[in-house]
Structure 1
Amino acid sequence: MSPRDWNASSYHDLSTPHQGWGRQVLDRLVLRGDETVLDAGCGTGRITQQLLDRWPGVRAVAVDGSPAMAQRARENLDPQRVTVLCQDLVALELAEPAGAAISTATFHWIADHDALFARLHDALVPGAPAVAQYGGAGNVARLEAILREVGGREPFAPALGGWPGPWNYQTPEATAQRLDRAGFDVQDCWLNPDPVVPEHPRDFLESVVLGAHLDRLDAELRPAYVDAVLAELGEPAELDYVRLNWIARRR
């Protein structure tokens, strides 16, 4: 299944938590400072820009599966330093392998992590570092329970009842094994809770969290669905994020 498209404008304005996660990823990345770095799931390019700001000699290949996200990244990033590609990461192909890779808040949207890690491996030169962070086992568990309950109600049940959702949350153990099979040496792989209270809960849910759910609903049902989810979340509308982090190197 191809990646879904996103509302790049609203995502760009609302993705404040992702910027913090991106800084954590960059803090863990060790570079000489002259590499070409793959940003796998670049969104609108805000973390790619952080990368460029930290290492003035670095170039980047920024990849996203959403045409709207990739177009916004092209508008935001310096074309002299960044090549932006719109590609599905499980079919990733680069003209030349990169010298490092980063990814933030992306891989939990991808069902086949074996295929993903195999493509990531082939997109890197031997010895290249790779650092990633995304939703892991237990991520938004309370929210997922709410979504199952609300999705089972009428009039949402025909579209959402019994649907497992769009996310793939994995454990560190399973992830480290997959990375090893794909040809990575794993330095570390761990979970950390990182709850978030969005400044604008409705907008955040609509644009960042529930897009795939809303795509399944008729347009006239979408506001009522978000209302019902917000009512169950209560105030403050805390999202119980749990992040899966890993640091690895391509063999």
Structure 2
Amino acid sequence: MTGPDARPAAWDPAQYLRFGGERARPFADLLARVGAVDPRVVVDLGCGEGTLTAGLAVRWPHARVTGVDSSAEMLAAAAAHAVPDRISFVAGDVRDWRPEHPVDVLVSNAVLHWVPGHEQLLDRWAGTLAPGGWLGLQVPGNHGAPTHRLLAELCTSARWADRLAAAAPPPRPVLDPAGYLAVLEAAGLRADAWETTYLHVLSGPDPVLGWVRSTVLRPVLALLADAEAAELTGEYAAALRAAYPPRPDGTTLLPFRRVFAVGRREG
């Protein structure tokens, strides 16, 4: 679940798993549309800390499952899920990945929004599928939400633009479902695409800030010294509290749109 990142920002598996249940739901919904019956080669590109990757081996007990990720921190956590000759984890950039053998199931969960121009990457991945193979992807589609819009405004403000403008969240890093449907069909796959908006009920102090700390805020803070990072975080937290006010019971509602696509090679 982690993608390539040119910025010097480390991933924090513990912070990412703070909302592990909410982050797992889209992966389960994606896999529900993958109809592979008994695949032998299964690859998870951007596997993160490995929990969901290990679940692929439970679903398909005869498969060899490989997780690929560029984060040393995530791979260190994923090592706890490795099983000899069944589940392995390797370091690699999804932009450069090429399999040694045709793949029966290839999944990429919450990764491709980090990769500009990933339409071409999907075309190449489709070409790695064995006859009858499946490709499934899920990407966040919430880049117009206050979480991202407010951070982009801060990064491009007079106070921060000289250092953070290039790190501002882009306005449209992913396609809509129709776009992914067209990409997979053009790659020769029978495709399906859809979107879902999840309503996550979060609790605790500044829960939306806690959510984004392990994702969109991570590369921004990596560019700042500690004091400046605290200053920006304080500004951002106040803006998030106004955009996502707590409900009467103290919880906070975070709407989160995600975009999905699956494709199958005939054979």
CA distance in 1 between counterparts of 2:89 and 2:60 reads 18
> Match of 1:59, as an amino acid?
R
Q: Which of 86, 107, 116 is the equivalent residue of 1:111?
A: 116
> Residue 5 of structure 2 corresponds to which residue in structure 1?
3
> Residue 245 of structure 1 corresponds to which residue in structure 2?
260
Q: Which of 148, 153, 165 is the equivalent residue of 1:149?
A: 153
> Residue 165 of structure 1 corresponds to which residue in structure 2?
169
Cα RMSD (Å): 2.5
Moved over 6 A (4+): none
> Residue 52 of structure 1 corresponds to which residue in structure 2?
57
> Residue 73 of structure 1 corresponds to which residue in structure 2?
78
Within a 5 Å distance, the mapping from 1:72-221 to structure 2 comes to 72-136=77-141, 138-153=142-157, 155-161=159-165, 163-165=167-169, 168-186=173-191, 188-199=192-203, 201=207, 202-221=209-228
Q: CA deviation at 1:72?
A: 2.0
3-state SS of 2:103 partner: coil
Which is helix-richer, 1 or 2?
1
8 A Cα contact 2:4 2:94, kept in partner: no
The normalised TM-score by structure 1 is 0.86
8 A Cα contact 1:130 1:248, kept in partner: yes
CA distance in 1 between counterparts of 2:253 and 2:147 reads 9
CA distance in 1 between counterparts of 2:64 and 2:166 reads 44
CA distance in 1 between counterparts of 2:87 and 2:120 reads 25
Q: CA deviation at 1:219?
A: 3.0
Q: Unpaired runs of 5+ in structure 1?
A: none
8 A Cα contact 1:2 1:88, kept in partner: yes
Query: Structure 1 residues 76, 155: CA separation in 2 closer, same or farther (over 3 Å shift)?
Result: farther
Residues 147-156 or 238-247, more deviating:
147-156
8 A Cα contact 2:143 2:169, kept in partner: no
Query: What whole-Å deviation, never above 9, does each CA across 1:214-234 have from its counterpart, x for those lacking one?
Result: 123333211222222221111
3-state SS of 2:62 partner: coil
3-state SS of 1:233 partner: helix
> Match of 1:8, as an amino acid?
P
Q: CA deviation at 1:55?
A: 2.7
CA distance in 2 between counterparts of 1:34 and 1:180 reads 22
Which is strand-richer, 1 or 2?
2
2:232 pairs with 1:225: yes
3-state SS of 1:32 partner: coil
